[in-house]
Amino acid sequence: MKRAVGLYHLRFEDLGSFASVLAEAGYDVGYRSAVTELDGFDIEGPDLVVILGCPLGVYEEDAYPFLKEEKRLLARRIAAGRPTLGLCLGGQLIASALGAKVYPSGTKEIGFSTLQLTEAGASGPLAALEGVPVLHWHGDTFELPEGVPLLASTDICRHQGFAVGKHTLALQFHPEADLPGLEDWFVAYGPEMAAQGIDVREMRKAAAEAVPPLRKAAADMLKAWLAGLPD
């Protein structure tokens, strides 16, 4: 059986709807903390590593030293061509590991909205997400690593995803968002939403409407990406 590891920073920011898709695809799915369990982690060992989200900035290495080691390990895995998927902070970490700049955008993007796919995005796995609102929850953005194609944008954030070959996919948004898990986000990030004038009741209502179609579209996206992975 293939092995997939969700590398998490906050336990409630997990694989969401992706967990069942990976299990159905024949992966033994487990988790490892990027904050406390990087020591001794064989980064090239798992068949798939999914780097998950967190409110930290990848540039906060002085305050959170694990970030430096996490980026070093990711750079090694990507260089080895091992399948790697980054979601939100995970996508930013991949960008940083590849030498691209990650920085505060000056604008918070929180809520459900559709992506604007580029030609490269529309011809790959992200085509499954076309017209389907996905969850955005970030204030940072990344530059594109040299030589990689931009896959998607929004009006608020131009760089929403890129791919390195067929083995690495970095996404700024959250296709894995699912219920009831988002309730943990609403509690933990309630002050952030309030600071942006977002009513948690309206966010909950939006999630109830957006998550069911997103769950299906995200499953199709992930399955398509997994099917294209190199042997």
Distance (Å, whole) CA 52 – CA 87: 5
Pairing of strands 134-142, 102-113: antiparallel
Q: Which residues pair with 153 in a beta bridge?
A: 116
Each residue of 102-160: pLDDT tens digit? 999 999 999 999 999 999 999 999 999 999 999 999 999 999 999 999 999 999 999 99
pLDDT of the residue at 231:
80
Number of neighbouring beta carbons within 10 Å of residue 83 = 22
CATH 2.40.160.50 corresponds to the domain 2-227: no
Whether pLDDT at 56 is above 90: yes
* 213 φ/ψ angles, rounded to the nearest 5 degrees: -65, -35
Q: Domain coordinates of the chain in residue numbers? A: 2-227
> What value does the mean pLDDT take over residues 182-202?
98
